[in-house]
Amino acid sequence: NAGVTQTPKFRILKIGQSMTLQCAQDMNHNYMYWYRQDPGMGLKLIYYSVGAGITDKGEVPNGYNVSRSTTEDFPLRLELAAPSQTSVYFCASSYSLGLGTDTQYFGPGTRLTVL
Partner 1 sequence: EDKVVQSPLSLVVHEGDTVTLNCSYEVTNFRSLLWYKQEKKAPTFLFMLTSSGIEKKSGRLSSILDKKELFSILNITATQTGDSAVYLCAVNQKTSYDKVIFGPGTSLSVIP
Grouping H, G, I as helix, E, B as strand and the rest as coil, residue 84 is helix
On whether the CB atoms of residues 13 and 21 are closer than 8 A, the answer is no
Query: Least separation, in Å, of the C-beta of 97 and partner 1?
Result: 5
Q: Nearest approach, Cβ of 30 to partner 1 (angstroms)?
A: 9
**Mask 15-34, x = binds partner 1 (CB under 8 A)?**
----------------x-x-
Beta-bridged to residue 7, according to DSSP, are: 22
Residues between 31 and 90 with contacts to partner 1, criterion CB under 8 A = 31, 33, 35, 40-45, 48, 50, 56, 90
Contacting residue, 8, 82, 108, 113, with partner 1 by CB under 8 A: 108
Specify whether the CB–CB gap between 45 and 34 falls below 8 A: yes
Q: List, in sequence order, every residue forming a beta bridge with 85; answer none if it has no partner.
A: none
The candidate with the shortest Cα–Cα distance to 32, out of 5, 2, 14, 63, is 5
Dist. CA 83–CA 58, nearest whole Å: 20
Closest contact distance (angstroms) between CB of 83 and partner 1 is: 22
Give residues in contact with partner 1 (CB under 8 A).
Answer: 4, 31, 33, 35, 40-45, 48, 50, 56, 90, 94, 97-98, 100-109
